[in-house]
Amino acid sequence: MATGQIRQLLAGYYDVATSDGTIYRTRARGNFRKRGITPLVGDYVDFQSDNQEEGYILEVHPRKNSLVRPPVANIDRAIVVTAAAEPDFSDNLLDRQLVAVEEMNIEPVIYFTKTDLLSAEQLDHLHTVAAGYRKIGYQTLVPNDAFAPEALTELSAEFTNHLAVFMGQTGAGKSTLLNHILPDLNLATGEISQALSRGRHTTRMVGLHEINGGLVADTPGFSSYEVFKMPANELSHFFPEFLAASVECRFRGCVHINEPGCAVKTGLEHGDFMQSRYTNYRAFYDLIVNQKPDYRKNKK
């Protein structure tokens, strides 16, 4: 028995990489379905194999997190690709994405695209916004040219020792950025299909590619930021700057809305926090409070 990480799912086959980089083609044991287990790319697994072409996954190790789109487990970083223009930059959308990433215990990297479409004044404002997110602790990249070699080199440094996924709004350029980061992506996909020689069975869901000492999922996604599933009183846990300040609030469990002695509101008055972040926090809080419960899952 050996241990490895699933690097690719292809037509029911799981390609598992061991610590020395050897790839084994495996299938999942039949009892996984009965146990409600679906192995995902990024999972660490125990497997048995007599050769590199025929093996079986015996057990899936516990995950630290997982996504539905793309279907990847054990993610460390999310590259949040954010348009500076066309579509116009939306701090509300960016903060939604950051809350979703924080809830998954994934560290975000904010990467602005289409900065070349901004006027000098607009670019200055974006740099001010970026400085605000950096103050929170978020790595934030504002390249003058989204796909310039130096910008891609700076982004690639974020992959070392991490498993990363790309996410972002439609039109932000996440697929284009991903193709620049992995220029051999199409070639690699073609080689895989040819090597398999399975014709119509080469449907490929997602794969991980090695880059700069880390791994990147080759399929962008992650749209779960559209819905807030946490209780309203836990929302502030996913705003790191508010969470850190809350230890100074007069009341334990302060939600930073109407309570006296609130350190977050005091910090806001003193300019310690971005006004846009608090405005979005209040909007998200109200959304959660006003969400109608979904009783469908309880219906027979």
How does pLDDT run across 202-227, given as a tens digit for each residue?
445 789 999 999 999 988 876 656 67
* Amino acid in the structure at residue 290: N
Q: Give the separation between CA 272 and CA 135, rounded to whole angstroms.
A: 10
Say if residues 39 and 33 touch (Cβ distance below 8 Å): no
Annotation: binding site: 113-116, 168-176, 249, 254, 256, 262
Is the domain 2-60 a CATH 1.10.357.10 member?
no
- Which CATH number is associated with domain 231-298? 1.10.40.50
Annotation: binding site for GTP: 113-116, 168-176
Annotation: binding site for Zn(2+): 249, 254, 256, 262
What is the CATH topology of the domain spanning 77-182+215-224? Rossmann fold (3.40.50)
Please state the domain extents for the chain: 2-60, 77-182+215-224, 231-298
Q: Give the separation between CA 271 and CA 197, rounded to whole angstroms.
A: 61
Phi and psi, residue 271, nearest 5°: 80, 20
Name all contacts of 287-296 with Cβ < 8 Å and 24+ positions apart.
Answer: 287/228, 288/228, 288/230, 288/231, 288/232, 288/235, 289/232, 291/228
Q: How confident is the model at residue 68 (pLDDT cuts 50, 70, 90)?
A: confident
| pLDDT reported for residue 225 | 66
Sequence-ordered strand ranges (E) for the chain? 2-10, 13-17, 23-28, 44-49, 55-60, 77-83, 107-113, 139-141, 163-168, 204-211, 214-217
Residue 35 reports pLDDT greater than 70: yes
Mean pLDDT in residue range 266-290: 96
Phi and psi, residue 4, nearest 5°: -160, -175
Residue 188 reports pLDDT greater than 50: no
Q: Give the separation between CA 238 and CA 104, rounded to whole angstroms.
A: 10
Contact residues for 161 (Cβ-Cβ < 8 A; gap 6+): 76, 213, 214
